[in-house]
Amino acid sequence: MREDTDFAECVDSFKNDAYITIEPWQSGGSIDHLRLTIRGMEGTPYEGGKFVFEIKLPSNYPFYPPFAYSHTIMYHPNIDSSIPPGKLNICLDLINPELVGKVDVSTGASGWTPSKTLTNVIEALKGMMHTEPPFFNPNDPLNHEAGEEALRAWKKFEKKAKEWTQKYAH
């Protein structure tokens, strides 16, 4: 099944990555419900933090994107920690179910297609946490306050993001 192939590929892709841990959500659980832990990279506001994401592969995967949810409270333009579990709290075209098969011509960002994989999703989430464009995108925020600060008052944004990382991501 495609889930098995994609899971094996992403485990292999990230096996030597000090910032990524991938495991079943529950001990002995299935590979269609995963716990992704991303460690904050040095030199970013998320440095030293451990950020937990839940990833579920839908029954119609790979024709429909994985569901991803951030469980760690964080101050991030593209992640809104105030959104309750079960709802999307990550602004990322790749996993947005409304953007399947679509491309944003102004940014080049594309929604999910069956040629994309779990590895693509994890790379994008890692890019968000390591403040790498285009994944870290304060121009298209879910958390508008964090987006405005990241664009107009980086030092203020960075201070708050670091404080939240120390408080919630350890």
**Catalytic residue positions?**
91
Residue type, 43: G
Alpha-carbon torsion (162, 168, 169, 170), positive or negative: positive
The 3-state DSSP class for residue 146 equals helix
Question: Which letter does DSSP use for residue 23 in this model?
Answer: E
Question: Amino acid identity, residue 146?
Answer: A
Q: Could you tell me the CA-to-CA distances from 9 to 13, 15, 57, 126, 156 in Å, in that order?
A: 6, 10, 15, 16, 39
The answer to whether 124 and 135 have CB atoms below 8 angstroms apart is yes
